[in-house]
Amino acid sequence: MNSALAPAKQKPLNLLDFDREGLAAFFVGLGEKPFRATQLLKWIYQEGVIDFDLMTNFSKPLRSYLKENCHITTPEIVLEKVASDGTCKWIVETDCGNRIETVFIPEDHRGTLCVSSQVGCALACTFCSTAQQGFNRNLTTAEIIGQVKVAQDRLGEDNKITNVVMMGMGEPLLNFDNVVAAMNLMMDDFAYGLSKRRVTISTSGVVPAMYRLTEVCDVSLAVSLHAVTDELRDELVPINKKYPLKELLEACRDNAKLAPRRTITFEYVMLNGINDSIEDAHGLIKLLKTVPSKLNLIPFNPFPNSTYTCSSNNAIHRFKTLLNDAGIVTTVRKTRGEDIDAACGQLVGQVADKSRRHLKLNPVSVEHAA
């Protein structure tokens, strides 16, 4: 290591904050070769080693520098809840005391981890419990990839995480750089090596960031739609007032051009008497006819003080049949972890709200024409 090029003493760096490209730049800045980044990734993510003294293919001066100026620190699991269906929810605490939630959903041939991107959420979707908590801050890359690391460490070798969905607390595209770096690590062959089709980012429709994502990171895209008119979506997903449906769908079409047969997953929460009519189904068919898509219908999961109720099973089945008959691949998401408040829309964590939304928000009742 060329100590002459070493940076001046500063706050210790958490090396989990860097993807391979970031680590390569870090090591080059120390006068080291870029391949040190690959070596470090292997130690952390494949060997599970976070003690610099044990990284024996690093020189002693380099190890000494890393010990003095860097650390490898994940968030800490402080509470675990296991549902009757095997779904596991962890309350994860960051260094500064914020608490977020991470959920593991086991299935026969895969295990999906639902990862948070923010402490709280800066948006105000009226059907989502997280949104009612307000917003505190973005998570760092280390706190995002750290959720994957502590979850996999907790699960052990017999329960591999095969899929990651950025569908936990927060709007991922409002924490763009940190989320992209974390997803790069999820897909890096020297870290978790997940296929790009097995990493999904969900957005409420931050249109400029959707175009940016298309340019820099090829992962699966899911879009929280939930309404077929701007009038209703303005109420359910208020960011629609800034980026209405026409702009949102154009960004979806742009993303779909990334690869042949690529589809966008649209998520649609089923709210009784709000967005579940036959007219809504026909509106959805018309809306999606120009976008290569598949549709997830999500039975609404209740939370305290919400005025919404879930559509009936008959209404959901009718809705699904109409869409499938129109050629749109439509599935009903199986509710998982409801008995431990780990289902879609139920994650809350512990948020010191900086947006003061908890003082402004009242449950919204939306009238919808039959």
**What is the band of 364 on the pLDDT scale with cuts at 50, 70, 90?**
very low
pLDDT of 333: 87
Task: Categorize the per-residue pLDDT at 260 as very low, low, confident or very high, splitting at 50, 70 and 90.
Answer: confident
* pLDDT score, position 351: 45
φ and ψ of 338, to 5 deg: -65, -35
Class level of CATH domain 76-360: alpha beta
Q: For residue 361, what pLDDT is reported?
A: 36
pTM of the model as a whole:
0.89
- How high does pLDDT run on average in the chain? 89
- In sequence order, which ranges of 200-333 are alpha helices (DSSP H)? 207-216, 230-236, 245-256, 278-288, 313-325
pLDDT at position 14, please?
A: 98
pLDDT of residue 55: 98
Is 363's pLDDT higher than 50?
A: no
The 10s digit of each residue's pLDDT in 3-24 is 445 555 678 999 999 999 999 9
Lowest-pLDDT range of 54-58, 299-303, 342-346: 342-346
Residue 131: pLDDT band by 50, 70, 90 thresholds? Answer: confident
Q: Where are the beta strands (DSSP E) in 184-292?
A: 199-203, 220-224, 264-270
For residue 354, pLDDT beyond 60: no
The per-residue pLDDT for 359 is 39
Which residue ranges make up each domain of the chain?
Answer: 3-71, 76-360
Q: Does domain 3-71 have CATH number 1.10.150.530?
A: yes
Q: What is the mean pLDDT of residues 201-224?
A: 97
Residue range 325-345: average pLDDT? 74
Tell me the pLDDT tens digit for each residue of 272-328. 999 999 999 999 999 999 999 999 999 998 888 888 999 999 999 999 999 999 999
Give the residue-averaged pLDDT of 195-223.
97
Nearest Cα neighbor of 97 from 78, 72, 116 is 78
Greater model confidence, 303 or 44 = 44
Highest averaged pLDDT of the listed ranges 5-9, 93-97, 246-250, 337-341: 246-250
The pLDDT value given to residue 182? 98
Q: What share of the chain is helix, strand, coil (3-state, %, to 5)?
A: 40, 20, 40
Residues marked active site are found at 101, 344
Inform me whether the pLDDT recorded for 343 exceeds 60. no
**What share of the chain has pLDDT > 70, as a percent?**
88
Residue 151: is its pLDDT beyond 70? yes
Short-list 154, 79, 103, CA closest to 301: 103
Burial class (CB within 10 angstroms; exposed 0-12, middle 13-18, buried 19+) of 75: buried
Per-residue pLDDT at 190: 97
Are the C-beta atoms of residues 366 and 235 closer than 8 Å to each other? yes
